[in-house]
Structure 1
Amino acid sequence: MVEENKNEKNSRIPFQEDNYTHNILKSGERKLDRRGFMKTMVGAAGIFAVSTLPWGAIAAKELTGLKDKAHPKKKIADLSSLKVGDAVEFAYPGEHDSALLIRFGENEFKAYQNACTHLKCPVFWSKDKGEMICPCHHGVFDAKTGVPTAGPPKRPLPEIRLAVEQEVIYATGVKRYEA
């Protein structure tokens, strides 16, 4: 009798169940398992990839030069106010974009955006040395070409297109960077 009672005790179900999977309780399940988590991550990555397509198209158009930017014509200085060897600072193409115009000869001018191509520090004209100098990291640029000659900058300064009309110097655009 003791043995029969022992078998009966072992064969009992510990709690009421309505199916054979008594070890899984729906209320105790995790809300997000590994498979669900991976599906969510793949879906989020897909949405992110698709959402960046318009910006990628705009960047590709900009980098390939399909859309040439139009800049306004802006007066920089009168010829009479700028002596040979002098430089003048001006804002171009935007109000907060600093640029530098240098006069080398009677009809020889160059203008560059004066933000160093290394870390955007301001570039200054050194009349004594005939160079454009970035004081932040000792970068030096050739004033006639804008090409870096010393220091960490690797790219030339962006050149500004110029026009001289009726004894006035105008900025007419910014040349595209060519690798």
Structure 2
Amino acid sequence: MTDQKRKIPVEEDNYTHNINRNNERSLDRRGFMKTLVGAAGVFAVASLPWGTLAAKELMGLSDKEYPHKKIVDVKDIAVGDSVEFYFPSEHDSAVLIRLEQNKYVAYQNACTHLRCPVYWVKEKHTMVCPCHKGKFDVNTGAPTAGPPRRPLPGIVVEVKDEAVYAVRVKRYEA
């Protein structure tokens, strides 16, 4: 084999053939920023329909009424006692408390701090989250101690035909 065949022509050199190209596009800081802003704009415009749908859904949640769900018969719950139930879906745990002869309150029983279960403590007349010693006022659902800062979402209940029914979820209002 001759030395002529071993020598690689400059045009085919894999290491240096692109060093001095005149038509190669360069991306400087200004070009990078333009690209970044353009991409952000595309993402914003692409997510706009989903944001609109989410806002519509959230705006209507406070008025959303679910199919009425029977929780318990009035005769089966004594004053001061509580009953656990699921509302509005099978995965949303809640608690109904009979405070007086004709006064019922119901709340979703997931703590607003870290979603630990909240329990009714009849002797202390309060609702307690055992995870971080959070406490909630039974009349309003507002936090009275511990790390929770938001009240428990309330559930509107109605008494009809000698039974207590869950009607809708009250949403948290800032």
Residue pair 2:128, 2:135 contacting (<8 A) in 1 also: yes
Change (3 A) 1:32 1:82: farther
Residue pair 1:99, 1:113 contacting (<8 A) in 2 also: yes
Q: 1:40 aligns with which of 17, 35, 54?
A: 35
Q: 2:111 aligns with which of 110, 113, 116?
A: 116
Q: CA RMSD in A?
A: 2.3
- Residue 18 of structure 1 corresponds to none
Could you tell me how far apart the structure 2 residues matched to 1:57 and 1:67 are?
17
Could you tell me how far apart the structure 2 residues matched to 1:76 and 1:130 are?
21
Matched, 1:148 2:148: no
Could you tell me how far apart the structure 1 residues matched to 2:61 and 2:156 are?
19
Query: Once the two structures are aligned, what percentage of the paired residues are identical?
Result: 61
SS in 2 for 1:52: helix
Q: Give 1:74's aligned amino acid.
A: K
Normalising by structure 1, report the TM-score: 0.78
- Residue 129 of structure 1 corresponds to 124
Could you tell me how far apart the structure 2 residues matched to 1:82 and 1:176 are?
26
Q: CA deviation at 1:104?
A: 1.1
SS in 2 for 1:155: coil
SS in 1 for 2:78: coil
Q: 2:21 aligns with which of 12, 25, 28?
A: 25
Deviations 1:30-85 (A, max 9, x none): x6523554443222111111122123323433454587323110000011111111
The worse-fitting range, judged by mean Cα deviation, of 32-41 and 153-162 is: 32-41
Could you tell me how far apart the structure 1 residues matched to 2:157 and 2:82 are?
14
SS in 1 for 2:147: coil
Could you tell me how far apart the structure 1 residues matched to 2:123 and 2:140 are?
18
Matched, 1:74 2:101: no
Change (3 A) 1:146 1:24: same
Q: Give 2:95's aligned amino acid.
A: L
Larger Rg: 1
How many positions carry a matched residue from both structures?
156
In the alignment, structure 1 segments of 5+ residues that lack a partner are 1-14, 16-22
Matched, 1:49 2:44: yes
In the alignment, structure 2 segments of 5+ residues that lack a partner are 1-9, 11-18
The worse-fitting range, judged by mean Cα deviation, of 61-70 and 47-56 is: 61-70
SS in 2 for 1:173: strand
Could you tell me how far apart the structure 2 residues matched to 1:149 and 1:67 are?
24
Could you tell me how far apart the structure 2 residues matched to 1:41 and 1:173 are?
45
Normalising by structure 2, report the TM-score: 0.80
